[in-house]
Structures are given as structure tokens and as C-alpha cells.
Amino acid sequence: MRIGELARRTGTTERALRYYEEQDLLRPARRPSGYREYVETDVRTVRNIRTLLAAGLNTVTIGEVLPCMVTDGEALVPACPELSTVLLQDRERLTEAIDDLQAARRVLDAIIAGAGSPAARRVDACQPA
């Protein structure tokens, strides 16, 4: 199948598919005309890539773990035991990022809450210096 068909069947864009190829996550054959030729298994591969991207993994990590991932019905599961370490490290990275964002939100909430204070009502504070 050609790139447009794969994009349609996977709900992604042709641009994204070219990016996955650039990142060596997809390896389509090339016709003599230069057109990419995808096979049926590429549909599942793209869906797996999209699942791993949605899980917060970057394409470098996806390149490492994708060959060891299998589908268990509809769920994507690691087939190699050593993947647990990589996935746990990425989970910790996400947890730290979430913690940082929550801290930033608390600071912003405090600033917003101060909007009703007497100091916030100083009209001269809103004028350019």
C-alpha cells in the first residue's frame, strides 16, 4: 500500500509517517518510481508507535523498545523482561515532569489568588515604566 492508504488506515498524517521512517521506526520498500510501499504489518507498527508516543516515550526510546513489544489482544505489552527497566525509567521521568508542572501550577494559583489584594488594585502598577 502507498503512504496515503497507510495514513488513512492508521489515522495519522503522511508527514508523520515520513518522520517515523526518518527515525528508522518504519522501513518501507521503495518502488523504482521512488514511491514508498508499505505492507500490512506496517499498520500495526504505526499503531504501536502512536501508542508509545501517547505513553510519553520519545522516538529514540521507541526505536529501542518497539522490536520487543507485542500485542496481547489490543494491549501493547513488552515481550522482553529487560524492557521493564527502560519503561520504569521513562515512567519516573514523566512523574518528575508532572510534579514540576503541578508545582508551577501552585505558584501560578497563588499569583492569581493575590489578584484581589489591595496591592493588586494599584492602578499605577499597570502603567509602563
| Cα 45 from chain centre | 15
pTM of this prediction exceeds 0.95: no
Residue 106 burial class via C-beta count within 10 angstroms: exposed 0-12, middle 13-18, buried 19 and up: exposed
pLDDT tens digits, 45-76: 999 999 999 999 999 999 999 999 988 887 88
pLDDT tens digits, 81-98: 888 888 999 999 999 999
Which residue ranges form the domains of the chain, and what is each CATH number? 3-117 (1.10.1660.10)
